[in-house]
Amino acid sequence: MSHQLTIMVYHFLIDIYLGADLANLVNEAALHAARVKHTNVKTEDLEYAIERVIAGPEKKTNVLSPNEKKVVAYHESGHAIVGWMLKHTDALLKVLKDC
Q: Is the pLDDT of residue 26 over 90?
A: no
pTM (two decimals): 0.51
Q: Could you tell me the pLDDT band of residue 3, with boundaries at 50, 70 and 90?
A: low
SS3 per residue for 20-43: HHHHHHHHHHHHHHHHCCCCCCCH
38-70 pLDDT tens trace: 999 888 888 888 888 777 776 666 677 888 888
Q: Which are the catalytic amino acids?
A: 76
